[in-house]
Structure 1
């Protein structure tokens, strides 16, 4: 049984996103080719992208898989914002690697967020963050329209971080997909 705090579990896998939430869709080009896809997908599914972007991540496992509990933290000490989540879906096929996680009790938002690396028909590799959310804590309700702006900025930051990680991994002589 899932302990996410919203009804539309898996909603980031489908379009349209569920009504009644703010929606986020940010796509960032990462590079080209299968090696970039694999390197970026590995960074996403092992939470390396999040950690390299300055986020504290504690997870039940080293790799995203359905059911894995994840707690994301931003800030330091008593000012750390804690965000408990659970991985609700994953994908790893020829052209797509990623996962989606849903919010749990204690998360400042209610909803789901997906992180997907995709190789398109022209061999370009893109990182996409898709989310639906609404405030679940007094301070996110108080922040109002500022929250989606911060989410968009953070998603772009993740994309830039992932681009750097993928380029570095592909350039490393020991990289083998």
Structure 2
């Protein structure tokens, strides 16, 4: 999925947690979000220290609109009609044959209608729809890579750890002066 999005010199304007209008420097903001989530997984959940090592090229993986398919461990980029444009298992691109195996000859993602009509969260997928979610998409992909490297089965169980990292980092008690 490289080339979807580049964080180099990107700024966005948005609201902060206290509704203050802010200019966010995406490169730095995404790095801080990623590092805080990854540090939690390493220190509190026993994940490999390698999750903390990123290169500038690693960020090329990120693009808005990714969906993590928690049942497969795949991250998919969808067309407006739900067709899978491309997909990865972890950070590794799926081949055309693998895409056909997972999504059929029409490359249809089975949960698209649910996502497209309700935009609700699901136990089967998570839609990364904003810039502040992008570090989570990268973290999910790298966790899948780590599980595969360990020889562990990739199941939706890793998502519980991702959610725990999010809860830990966005809990108001984490905001210390």
TM over 0.5, shorter chain: no
The structure where strand makes up a greater share of residues is 1
> TM (normalized to structure 2)?
0.32
> TM (normalized to structure 1)?
0.32
Q: Which one has more relative contact order, counting CA pairs under 8 Å at least 6 apart? A: 1
The structure where helix makes up a greater share of residues is 2
